[in-house]
Structure 1
Amino acid sequence: MMNFELSEGQTTLIQLIRTLNAEKIVPYLREHRFTEKNGFSQYLLDILREHNLLCPVVPKEYGGLGMDYMSVSLVVEEIATVCPGLAFVVSNNVHAVQPILLSGTKEQKQNILPAFTGKEACLGAFASTERASGSDVSSFQSLAEEKDDHYILTGQKEYVLNAGTAKYLTVFSSSSFSKKKASLRCFMIPNFLPHFRLGKVCKVAAPLLFDPMEILFDHVKISKSNVIEDKDYSGYLLLSQTMDMGRALTSAVAVGIARAAFDLADDYARKRVLNGKTIISNQVIAHSLVEMAVMIEMNQLLVRKACWLIDKEEDFAMVSNMSKLSASRLAIEVTSRASEIFGARAFLVTSKIDQLTQCARIISVIDGTDNIQKNTISTIMKVNEI
């Protein structure tokens, strides 16, 4: 039976993040304008490193916190209320290590996972998107040719978050164009291998901590010890599981963005005086805030159900995709309504609402657009067979 009450540890965790937000992250963001990427310091990452929160899913035996998905979703949601870019870094880091957690050997875990923990914790990058394929993994143009004891990887990946700073890359590639999905392979490789290089920076409007980048593989030699595979997981199933689990955390970031926009709009409506009274006394404004609050509550519950199912090792794919579909719309809808309440002030370069709106637009395409979520959900529901 699902319990809506958070554990004592989870309540303490939320309080810790809120304290970090108030005492360290927000003051830093006020001092350093977070709208341009001018070589940010490692300060924001170090705040999370101090508490081993850069990749909290790493099991305790490898130096991590061994945090369940429900707890991780609480972390990224709270961080997203003040700094969505930092929340993206954490969720993407979890995304990068998820394949090795699902299918990695004990030796692979011992060699790689400790690097993601502690005060020197590194970042990981997840590379699957290609220019010609988008969400269609059967159209991957990157190719990993199997040799004796290694693979030779050629191709290109784009929109890779954390790429410029990641120590490890999780890469999905075909090993045979003729076999398509059946030939999909997952590699977790260090970013300093010969013939690997970073391509162009993909400038985006949203204030992310690091811009996404293109990655180029020019006959990169990868040892078979870096292949992440398991008899229970094909490469395609591993990618699907990883994406579906990641969507729950991306949804949590979206909820955090919506909460931040709502709080700003609610505070502004209580202080803004027009014709002798605060604008929240206007029924139209009040009703808009009520609708935003209801949508946020509904989506928060949907995200938590998805994470609960993941933690219970039950079938989570449909609910996770539902949460991503709904939370993406939530973030866009709430930031839009908040902009209407703020009026012209919402579109100033220094406006927090404007930054949140940009992040909401970005999150609507991370881990697949709305139509991709609908395709996945309809497949699970077997709508296409009716």
Structure 2
Amino acid sequence: MTIDFNLSPAQKKIQLMARDFSENVLAPVVRDADREPDPLKAFQMTKPAYIEAYKQGIAFGMLPSEYGGGGLTNVELILAAEEICAVDPGFACTVLVNGLALMPVWYWGTEEQKKRIIGAATSDPTGEWIAGYAASEPPGTPGGTANFDNPAAYPAGIGVTARKDGNNYVLNGRKYWPCNVGGWDGEGANVNLVVVRTDESKGGTHGLSAVLVERGTPGVSYHIIDSFGHRTTPNSEIIFSDAKIPAENLVEGTFGNGDLLINRNFAWSGPVAGIAAVGIARSAFEDALTWSKTNTAGSPHPIIHFQNVGYVLGDVAAKIEACRYFCWKTAHYIDEHGYHGELIGAMNKTYCTEALLDGVYKCMQVVGVNSADKKYSFERYLREAAIFPIYDGGNFGMQRRRVHGVLASPDFNPRALMDNEYVEFTKEMEEIDTIAAHV
């Protein structure tokens, strides 16, 4: 058989290791950290768990073993991610962003950059090393990031500029929402991968690149954002004011290809976001099922014996199973096709995150008004589930537009994913739905 849904012994070991870590190391800190009003303090409360995750190979498990990473396949990564997300998707996001920041260095960086940056990430004796990924920008006119590949020149699209000045690039502008970038103290991660505009005369498909901004760079400041979900991971605003970085910190293969970096990054993270939705929906479902078997709502017997309760929970269980296997398929596809999956990654992320947001709410309807009581976890499940469709390349922005661009291509084969064929994502598939492309 070529299709086997049984985990191998090695895969099962990874799953159980992640479950043990999540239930015994991470879970004890989540409730208090989630309720901490100061977002930076909330993040800092997870630091001991992060250090343990580092020691166990979780924090950089997605990076190649030749540079000290865990060498996990994408299938193995999402097996572990589901277990972590069932306890706390915020913490899982912290780990995910390490990959979003450093995998492009693996894809496109020089050998010196790989050894210097990835090597440092995977050999920190303190276990505190952390990386940030900065693409998103603040709203305004113009502003935001959904139309980052708009063909118009600056200031449309990405607004952080990087002007060449001798042996340096000088950065100016603002980023908004990137995760991890402020580091443990709000003064900067060890390194941040920042998508910038290196050519203001060109549009988003040719004028963008990625640079590495290291902690302590003058002219860079951070402000922590207070969000309603993923309270244990920090989002920040970054302000660049004539910040100079060495020219060798430009990730070589991204020069003029920052657009492809963004699309590839959010394709890779698609099944991770999808499995995060599976994890949190799984927890909501298990709690609702337990509730329905132990509470009567005033009837002579537990409410699980009412048809509507059984039907609703059965539908939620089906969605969880369907989405789990869609995530497995997507991760396997990315493994098979050189860490590309721009089409299937976006489809997976949009479908699973929206289907399971509804699933979490259906569980709350089964429990009823008591699900609003903060002594239970349902309100946290809902807050977490509501984040998934709007973060990580929002479903109404980057994700669906990438699918649209691929489908509109005259060369698109509608049976490609079914046949596990490689679907190449090209610059010609970008710009769709952007205003300037239709003028």
Give the TM bin, normalised by the shorter chain.
over 0.9
| Percent identity over paired residues | 22
TM-score (normalised: structure 1) = 0.94
Aligned partners of 2:264 and 2:341 also within 8 Å: no
Aligned partners of 1:77 and 1:256 also within 8 Å: yes
- Does residue 223 of structure 2 align to residue 223 of structure 1? no
- Does residue 255 of structure 2 align to residue 250 of structure 1? no
Distance 1:93 1:106 in 2: 19
Distance 2:256 2:11 in 1: 31
Deviations 1:73-113 (A, max 9, x none): 11111101011111111112111112112111111011011
Deviations 1:333-354 (A, max 9, x none): 1110111112122112333110
Matches within 5 A, 1:104-143: 104-117=109-122, 120-131=127-138, 132-137=143-148, 138=150, 139-143=157-161
Name the amino acid aligned to 2:12: T
Aligned partners of 1:339 and 1:353 also within 8 Å: yes
Instruction: State the match for 1:74 in structure 2.
Output: 79
Distance 1:185 1:350 in 2: 47
Which residue, out of 280, 284, 292, partners 2:308?
A: 284
Matches within 5 A, 1:58-73: 58-73=63-78
Distance 1:309 1:382 in 2: 21
Name the amino acid aligned to 1:10: Q
- Does residue 103 of structure 2 align to residue 103 of structure 1? no
Deviations 1:200-259 (A, max 9, x none): x22111142133110011111111211112289822222211121122212121111111
* Deviation for aligned residue 1:66: 1.0
Deviations 1:252-275 (A, max 9, x none): 211111111111111111111231
Name the amino acid aligned to 2:192: L
Matches within 5 A, 1:1-386: 1-29=2-30, 32=32, 34-38=34-38, 39=41, 40-41=44-45, 42-117=47-122, 120-131=127-138, 132-137=143-148, 138=150, 139-165=157-183, 166-181=189-204, 182-199=206-223, 201-230=224-253, 234-274=257-297, 275-313=299-337, 316-372=341-397, 373-382=399-408
Name the amino acid aligned to 1:93: N
RMSD, matched Cα: 2.1
Deviations 1:280-310 (A, max 9, x none): 1111000111100111111111111111111
Deviations 1:20-66 (A, max 9, x none): 22322223335x35222452332221221220211211222222211
Change (3 A) 1:183 1:2: farther
Aligned partners of 2:312 and 2:362 also within 8 Å: yes
Aligned partners of 2:169 and 2:247 also within 8 Å: yes
* Deviation for aligned residue 1:69: 1.1
Instruction: State the match for 2:437 in structure 1.
Output: none
Which runs of 5 or more structure 2 residues have no equivalent in the other structure?
A: 151-156, 184-188, 413-439
Deviations 1:104-131 (A, max 9, x none): 1111011011232255241111111112
Distance 1:259 1:19 in 2: 17
Distance 1:202 1:232 in 2: 30
Name the amino acid aligned to 1:78: E
Q: What is the SS of the residue equivalent to 1:238?
A: helix
Distance 1:33 1:198 in 2: 21
Name the amino acid aligned to 2:106: L
Aligned partners of 2:60 and 2:99 also within 8 Å: yes
Aligned partners of 1:195 and 1:218 also within 8 Å: yes
TM-score (normalised: structure 2) = 0.83
Name the amino acid aligned to 1:367: D
Alignment length (residue pairs): 384
Name the amino acid aligned to 1:134: T
Distance 1:198 1:163 in 2: 8
Aligned partners of 1:255 and 1:330 also within 8 Å: no
Change (3 A) 1:383 1:285: farther
